[in-house]
Amino acid sequence: MTSHEGKQFPLRGLVLILAVIVLVACGEVKDGSGNKRETIALFTKNQVNPYFQTLRVAAQAAANELNVDLVNYIPTENDSIREQMSQIEDAITKRPSAAVFIPVDSKAMIPGVEKFNAAGIPVVNLTDRADGGEFVSFMGCDDYAVAADTARYLFKKMNGKGNVIIIEGQGGSSNNQKRMGGFKKALEEFPDIKLLASQTGNFQRSVALQVTENLLQAHSQIDGILAANDSMALGVIEALDAANRKALVIGLNGTKEAIDAVKAGKLLATGDCDGFLQGCMGTMGAVRHLRNLPVPKEIIFPITVFDSTNYQGADVPYEQRMCPKWESIVKE
């Protein structure tokens, strides 16, 4: 920085800045004055997991049907607690009519939910239960139960005996805690299933692949592998293929790629509750609440363990799916 430039204003820089502004403004949600449509603010955890993409598409479909606006809030850094907290504050500035909220962390986001509560914005808790705060409803299922059910399925397929390894998710994630809890519970119920190793794959495909390769070296007899999400499960499968080893693998999330792997016989099963359905119901529930229609305090979606016999239900591309009628899911 020298002292000679003084008051010169960088014209070329200004042009660049204007280009940035135009770029940014193109993404602006049309929020015209006098617009009386209700706005639903949907909070999902990241841009990379296909599970959330399906959920968002479903929510948009429901919003279109119900004639409301849907605004998406996704952290720019995947699963960022700090960012989701900031996005809550920023969303409140826009005063959405209601929020549909998937917390990045079940405990750390409680102050965020309380911000919604303080601002008088009704919130539907979707997919992962937050451990505090006031909600219109919780709709989702329990990661613990999903993990336990999927693990039990695997152990039954193994006839209750054999060696297994676990590929864990990211340390520090509340999802991971619950899923590990579920796996461990199922293990307790099958005393002849032996856990050889439990190592982290960080919820990432390449890490899970590398770790599985290493564990295959360490243990000559592995009959079953439990992966804490589909992304990792698919990495596990590649490792098995490359090493010419066979094992029964289960994942969690029910993503399209996993379903295809189940179809192809590479993946034994993937368990979850329907992400598409959750997207629909969460949005519909929020809108119903705004329109003074009854919404149950809790909707626990059934857990499906998708295997080679029943994957057809999940095998429809989300572009072709439609939201069901509220009444067909919620029986009064």
Partner 1 sequence: MARLARIPGVAFLLVLLGFVFAVVAPGFASLPNVLNIGIQSSTLLLLALPMTFIIMTEGLDLSMGALLGLTGVILASALVAGNNLIVAFAQALGVGLAFGIANGLLVVKMGLPPFVATLGTLGIAQGIALVMTKGESVAGIGPALPRLYASTWLGLPFSIVVAAVMYAVFHFLLYYTRFGNYVFAIGGNREALMLAGVPAGFVHVSVYALAGLMSGFAALLLTGRMNSGHPIAAMGMEFDAIAAVIVGGTERQRGNGWLPGTVLGVLAVGVLRNGLNVMAVQSSLQVASIGLLLIVALLIDSIRRRRQ
Partner 2 sequence: MKYRLIGLLLIGIALALSSDAFATPSNLLNVLRQASLIFLSASGLTLVIVGAGLDLSVGANLGLSACFAAAAIKSTGALSLGLVAGLACGTIVGVLNGLMVTKLRLPPFIATYGMLWMLYGVNYWYMKGDTIYGFPAEFRALGSGDLLGIPVPVYLMMVGLLAGGIFTRYTTFGHEIYAIGANVEAARLSGIPVSSRLILLYTLSGAMAGLAGVVYLARLNSAEAGIGTPLLLPAIAAVLIGGTSLFGGSGGLAGTLIGAIVLTLVLNGMNLLGINSNWQPLVTGVIILLAALIDSITRKHAEIRA
Using CB under 8 A as the criterion, which residues of the chain lie in contact with partner 2 when the complex forms? 47-50, 52-53, 56, 78, 168, 171, 197-200, 202, 204-207, 209-211, 213-215, 217-219, 231, 234-235, 238, 241-242, 255-257, 260
Q: Which is nearer to partner 2, 156 or 219 (CB)?
A: 219
Q: Which of 301, 330, 326, 282 is nearest to 123 (CA)?
A: 282
Choose among partner 2, partner 1, none what residue 329 binds, the Cβ cut-off being 5 to 8 Å by kind: none
Q: How far apart are CA 166 and CA 147, in angstroms?
A: 12
Q: Choose which of 35, 37, 64, 82 interacts with partner 1 (CB under 8 A).
A: 82
Q: Choose which of 131, 213, 238, 260 interacts with partner 1 (CB under 8 A).
A: 131
Q: Is 36 exposed, middle or buried (0-12, 13-18, 19+ CB in 10 A)?
A: exposed
Binding status of residue 120 toward partner 1 by CB under 8 A: no
Quick note: the x/- pattern for partner 1 over 28-67, rule CB under 8 A, is: xx-x---------------x--------------------
| Structure tokens belonging to residue 308 | 């080679």
Q: How far apart are CA 44 and CA 329, in angstroms?
A: 23
Residue 192, classed as helix, strand or coil, is: coil
The full length of the chain comes to 332
Could you say which residues in the range 85-104 bind partner 1, by CB under 8 A? 85-87, 89-91, 93-95
The number of angstroms, rounded, from the C-alpha of 91 to the middle of its chain's C-alpha atoms is 20
Please give the size of the binding site for partner 1, defined by CB under 8 A: 57
Q: Which of 66, 77, 76, 147 is nearest to 100 (CA)?
A: 66
| Structure tokens belonging to residue 210 | 């590398």
Binding status of residue 244 toward partner 1 by CB under 8 A: no
Q: How far apart are CA 19 and CA 15, in angstroms?
A: 6
| Structure tokens belonging to residue 27 | 């993404």
Q: Choose which of 49, 57, 101, 105 interacts with partner 1 (CB under 8 A).
A: 105
Choose among partner 2, partner 1, none what residue 3 binds, the Cβ cut-off being 5 to 8 Å by kind: partner 1
Q: Choose which of 77, 241, 298, 315 interacts with partner 1 (CB under 8 A).
A: 77
User: At 73, phi and psi to the nearest 5?
Assistant: -120, 110
Binding status of residue 4 toward partner 1 by CB under 8 A: yes
The number of angstroms, rounded, from the C-alpha of 328 to the middle of its chain's C-alpha atoms is 24
Q: Which is nearer to partner 2, 118 or 242 (CB)?
A: 242
User: At 71, phi and psi to the nearest 5?
Assistant: -115, 125
On whether the CB atoms of residues 150 and 82 are closer than 8 A, the answer is no
| Structure tokens belonging to residue 131 | 């451990």
Q: Choose which of 60, 97, 117, 177 interacts with partner 1 (CB under 8 A).
A: 177
Give the range of 18-26, 120-128, 260-268, 289-297 binding partner 1 by CB under 8 A: 18-26
Q: Choose which of 12, 36, 297, 331 interacts with partner 1 (CB under 8 A).
A: 12
What residue ranges bind partner 1 (CB under 8 A)? 1-10, 12-13, 16-17, 20-21, 23-25, 27-29, 31, 47, 71-77, 81-83, 85-87, 89-91, 93-95, 105, 107-111, 131, 170-174, 176-177
